[in-house]
Amino acid sequence: MTSLAEHPRRLHVVDPMTGEPRTAHDIADEAAVHAAVQQARDAAGWWAGLDARQRRRHLLAYKALVASRIDELAALIRSETGKSVAGAQLEVMLAVEHLDWAARHARRVLRRRSVSSGMLAFNQASSVEYVPYGVIGVIGPWNYPVYTPMGAISHALAAGNAVVFKPSEFTSGVGVWLAQRWSELLPDRPVLQVVTGDGTTGAALCRASVDKIAFTGSAATGRAVMAACAERLTPVVIEGGGKDALIVTADADLDAAAQAAVFGGLGNAGQTCAGVERVYVEQAVYEPFVAKLAELVRQVRPGAEPDAPYGPMSTPAQPGIVLSHVTDAIDRGARAVVGDASSVRPPFVEPVLLADVPEDSTAVTDETFGPVLVVNPVADADEALRRTNATSYGLSGSIFTRHRRHGLALAARVRAGAVSVNSVLGYAGVPSLPFGGVGDSGFGRVHGADGLREFSRPRSVTWQRFRAPIDVMTLQPTAHAMRLSRAMFKWRHGRP
């Protein structure tokens, strides 16, 4: 990236294939971020004041506009990330599916619902309703600059909030494009705004009196975001990456599992938070599986062509991280089945398949975020689960087995927010499913009903239907009232 010292108030987005600057954007300082949040605050009052049907109409119009210009948006994604045209288009399609679901289901999920009042408050009618926070700050990543932040943006908007979006400095143009499409529909209602910049802009957004922050990025940066938000007790949603594993049992369809591993591990140049980085295979089928996987991996080559399987690393630093993980694994005794350290040729990294990798190597313990697959043997499914869960991350996982019941039983023991059986990333295209992780992968959820509630405050409401004949909710209840209430209490709760 061009040195910011040369352009103290401008951010230059570069072509990841050539390193040449493409576009320039303002670096929003603290004053600019606060101004955007204040505009959003004013717009939020209008937006929250609409009923759910009105918001749905606006959101579906926005969805239609984005979908109708998929080729334009995909080309922009490709120019800033280097991913293939097909990968960019798929990203847009997935984002639109989730936006459509949020718009159509917000009214049902968030409407007021009655709940039981119980014995002591039997004269009260009770309900819970969900109200918007106000202004949500969204800090997005560069690897999926539409799909990932739109998970938060679409559900926050559908829940009645305004959004200030800070895209990654590597994909600022995509963020600007998304905000511009909103302003085409509602030019005088800045319900969705973008602030461009670097880490200082993100820090300013965390401290700008927003009502909640949704962040996607590294676990280390997630901790910094939490620290900044803690100053004002601003709640956060954190997605901090992953080190996801694929388990292959002895009875699995090895061809299907190998194809899934290639897609999950090499897709988007391996730059997928929930992609496959580790593969654990039962010993009985380990060597046949490695042979099948190697045959598939050897057929994959990155390139600058629009239809290449995958493109370059999207950021200048990523090839160095990949190289360090591959070198560490081989130095510790790993077997380089396909590729090795020489596969790292910035900005491209050819696929690397490592077998028998020590579990304490960085290729197993740290997020590689590159086209590197680690495949290790295990004695059985129990050992595979122990190794799968022996990480600080817990975003998602995959299991391949021919028996559905066995697969679901194993899935229940994976320490992760999402699990796919006989597929990878199966949940990504299901709008009704929540997405998020545990441990260093973060907390909170986007997508589905849980995603809508994530950006809403629950509010409890009661109203007295009639005066209680036995009133103990008073400063000095009568002896008669207490005697009757104790008798009723023992009758109701004094037995299993």
The catalytic residue positions are: 239, 273
**Residues facing 353 on adjacent strands:** 338, 373
Tokens encoding 102: 């949020």
Distance CA 140, CA 26 (A): 17
Residue 440 buriedness (CB in 10 A; 0-12 / 13-18 / 19+): buried
Tally the C-alpha atoms within 13 A of residue 159's C-alpha that lie toward its C-beta: 32
Residue 415 buriedness (CB in 10 A; 0-12 / 13-18 / 19+): middle
Angle of CA points 17, 19, 23, to nearest 5°: 105
Distance CA 477, CA 159 (A): 43
Distance CA 385, CA 489 (A): 46
H or E element that contains 420: strand 418-421
* 213 conformational bin, left if phi > 0, alpha if psi -120 to 50, beta if neither: beta
What is the three-class DSSP state of 253? coil
Distance CA 147, CA 154 (A): 10
For the chain, how far is it from start to end, CA to CA, in angstroms?
67
Contact 239, 442 (CB under 8 A): yes
CB atoms within 10 A of CB 109: 20
- Show Cβ contacts of residue 295 under 8 Å, excluding neighbours closer than 6 positions: none
Letter string b/e over residues 307-334, b meaning 16 or more CB atoms within 10 A of that residue's CB: ebbbbbbbbeebbebbbbbbbbbbeeeb
Residue with tokens 């295990």: 378
Contact 246, 279 (CB under 8 A): yes
Distance, C-alpha 429 to centroid of its chain:
13
Distance, C-alpha 190 to centroid of its chain:
25
Nearest residue to 464 (alpha-carbon basis) of 113, 116, 126: 126
